[in-house]
Structure 1
């Protein structure tokens, strides 16, 4: 069975990656079909696209900026095929993991004010936001997508 690892927390400028150990699959394909390593790479690449699309599908939408910023790239070296999927928007981690209650204070002014507020205030006690995971559930589907893509290749 292939294994995948996801590394790190989703932060600005970072990403989540998945590495598939394709040796077992590749060895089985070589025995059965005579050296289909390009097909295994193709299955990993299709899996990368499937996971990217799943993360986009699961991403909450307000303006669409987060959803459209989700990208992926292949990372293949030697006998290891993998990919990195991520986003560069600065609030992605807050959406994925939620935020704890916190105090909002003005940075440049003496008070906070917004349209509809009764009066300016010195601080706001924010209750926090609930987590809306979109990247982790997509990454968790890596093996399911990989098996489906591999079976399509075998079924040709």
Structure 2
């Protein structure tokens, strides 16, 4: 699978696990649940921030869990080939025809040999979502711990 833009987040859960084990003993399942909820939160935040023209980019943002045992994590990404250009923008560049002698599009006055594209501004959607991962994790861990106490 070709990835247009993706982000991997690793959260250092050792300090959280130590405190949880001291307080309640063997709470790594709670940490795993908090990481899983964080994965979904980061994915949803990236989708929320993704600019929408056709909706293809937004709907392509997916995530998956990684790791096992004491190492858990996730990957959030997209396989849309233009995602990186949206995330980081593009510099001014020249567009030339690949298979023909000239470029033409509906509304053009005449075919042209090349087009000087001014570039596009960055519209970050993945990086801001990843930057919120720790905030999401802390909130999710608190919710998981609070839910555990109510059982």
TM range (shorter): over 0.9
| Residue equivalent to 1:4 | none
1:12 pairs with 3, 7, 16, which one? 3
In 2, the alpha carbon distance for the partners of 1:60 and 1:13 equals: 15
Cα-to-partner distance string for 1:58-104 (whole Å, 9 max, x where unaligned):
00001111001101011123322211110001000000000000000
Query: For the Cα contact (< 8 Å) 1:21–1:81, is it kept in 2?
Result: no
Q: Give structure 1 stretches of 5+ with no counterpart.
A: 1-10
Pairwise CA distance, 1:12: 3.1
| Residue 150 of structure 1 pairs with residue 141 of structure 2 | yes
Provide the alpha-carbon RMSD of the alignment: 1.3
In 1, the alpha carbon distance for the partners of 2:124 and 2:4 equals: 18
Cα-to-partner distance string for 1:122-144 (whole Å, 9 max, x where unaligned):
10000000000000000000000
Aligned residue pairs, count: 146
Name the TM-score, length of structure 2 as normaliser.
0.92
Q: Give structure 2 stretches of 5+ with no counterpart.
A: none
Name the TM-score, length of structure 1 as normaliser.
0.90
1:82 pairs with 73, 77, 99, which one? 73
Structure holding more helix per residue: 2
